[in-house]
Amino acid sequence: MTVALAPELERTLAMVADVAAGAVEPWWIIGSAAVALHGAAAVTGIRDVDLLMAMADAERLVAQLGLSPEPESDHPQFRSKLFAMWREPPLPVEIFADFKLRSGDGWNAVQLRTREAIAIGQRTLLVPSAEELHQLLLSFGRPKDLERARLLSARARRPAAAPPPCPRRSSS
């Protein structure tokens, strides 16, 4: 699949692919950048890239980039045992591990099960399947995430492009 991305997002994702290539455990791009990577061209206002990694890989990457993890957040809906912001790329990259989502009265680990590789130039980015990403966005429940889920769903329902017409043979 060929994906058209805004230049600053494409440059940021290339930088993420380069630094995440050394990860030992699975990692994913999630959020609006993942929606764009799935081909939802209508997604706009991408302000950052979310990189979800295993703890050991995130710790290594944060150290490699010379970043300092931020203190645990008291966000009412999201928690990460490790969170750091990489500001060198054109768009900030949020690196996090041990990601949890509040549901009901408790915190539940976000455990993605699918990974799809999407090539951007010579680099590979990994995202959850469109179906799993859709469910993740719905579970976040915020208006911006519900809109992203809608755009992702709309992308999946677009009719396939018609094949080019067959050339006509000359009867001469």
Please write the tens of the pLDDT for every residue from 87-116. Answer: 999 999 999 999 999 888 799 999 999 999
Answer whether residue 130 is part of any domain.
Answer: yes
Is the model's pLDDT at 41 over the cut of 70? no
* Percent of the chain at pLDDT exceeding 70: 88
Domain count, the chain: 1
Q: What is the pLDDT of residue 65?
A: 98
- Please tell me the predicted confidence (pLDDT) of residue 7: 92
Q: Is 81 part of any domain?
A: yes
Is 2 contained in some domain? no
Name the β-bridge partners of 49. Answer: 93
Q: Give domain status of residue 171, yes or no.
A: no
Q: Is residue 28 domain-resident? A: yes
| Average pLDDT over every residue of 7-32 | 96
Mean per-residue pLDDT over the chain, rounded: 87
Residues 149, 31: Cα–Cα separation, whole Å: 10
For position 72, which CATH number holds?
Answer: 3.30.460.40
Report pLDDT digits (tens) over 129-165: 999 999 999 888 888 988 888 988 887 554 444 444 4
Spatial separation of the C-alpha atoms in residues 84 and 105, rounded to whole Å: 26
Where in the sequence is the domain holding 65, given as residue range(s)? 7-157
CA gap 66, 60 in Å, rounded = 10
pLDDT at 3 (0 to 100): 75
Alpha-carbon distance 77 to 79, whole Å?
A: 7
Q: What are the tokens at 23?
A: 């990860």
Amino acid code (one letter) for 34: A
Helix axis angle, 7-20 relative to 55-64, nearest 10°? 110
Give the pLDDT of residue 39: 87
**Is position 1 within any domain?**
no
The pLDDT of residue 73: 74
Position 32 pLDDT exceeds 60: yes
Question: Would 138 be classed as within a structural domain?
Answer: yes
Residue 61 counted as domain residue: yes
How far apart CA 172 and CA 141 sit, in angstroms, is 64
